[in-house]
Amino acid sequence: MGQYVQVEDNVKIFVEDIGQGVPVIFLHGWPANHLMFEYQYTLLASHGYRCIGMDIRGFGKSDAPWESYSYDRMADDVRAVIDELHLENAALVGFSMGGAIASRYMSRHIGHGITRLLLAGAATPVFTRRPGIEYGMEPDEVTSQLIHATYENRPAMLNKLGLKFTKTKSNPGMLVWLGLLCYQASHHGTIKAAASLRDEDLRQDLAAIQIPTTVFHGQKDKIVEPELGELTAQSIAGSRIVRFEDSGHAMLFDEPEKFNEELLTFLDGMKMEYDPLNSVESQRSL
């Protein structure tokens, strides 16, 4: 079921609410929308989970204000959705820029409503290089290859990005579908969110995370280097890292079976805590 949640600055955020049970909130990457997780929604709903997919402002069906694309603002949007839907004891899953927003949410809102965190190919601790971190894109690369390229020719920029998105090119239909999701984003939202990717720093946010956290990262990632995944895991006390040896940035498309199995493993322990009467094995037999 789709609905809109109006947030503090009168922006309407689109939310898809599928299934019943333990809530799992999904934050998509730049510049896609919540539908990038549609295979996970179908899987998890059949295993007794409630999937909450939200379109980040500027993307998908959400409003696209001219300003306000900072991680703080987008983390506040997540809080508004959690409060409007009365979500408690939820898992938060963030992919790429969605992982960065999830990390800011955990710090800024002290993990309100969240008991487990999954960061998949997250743009953390930073997306661009800076003193103290020698991995990631150079800031001027983001400006030229993502921001200026979007000003000049957004389809061409998306096509070039798509070549780096997954390791395998054996499924061209999937890349076309992902491209169509990205075309639904607003032009200015795509640009201004890319500036946040370039400029934001999440090192202090990661250090503040105090709930069970799992990091997924493709070992052939050409967008967020594997070393950044390692740094992310090292920065979060007690976190666990799952390495996808045959994946690029989008491990959920390069190694879908492993991604889904590891996602269920991440969530199953949480389900037992949420409802001890649930049998993990019986849910998996559905």
Supply the residues annotated as catalytic.
96, 221, 249
In this structure, the dihedral spanned by the alpha carbons of residues 154, 160, 166 and 167, taken in order and rounded to 10 degrees, is 180
Q: What are phi and psi of 115, to 5 degrees?
A: -115, -15
Query: What gap in Å lies between CA 232 and CA 215, rounded to an integer?
Result: 8
CA 31 to CA 37: how far, in whole Å? 14
Owner of token pair 């934050």: 27
Longest dimension (CA), the chain: 56
30 half-sphere exposure, CB direction, 13 A CA radius: 31
Angle subtended by helix axes 38-45 and 256-274, to nearest 10:
40
One-letter amino acid at 9 equals D
From residue 17, alpha-carbon distances to 23, 232, 238 in Å are 9, 29, 31
For residue 284, the tally of other CB atoms under 10 A from its CB is: 12
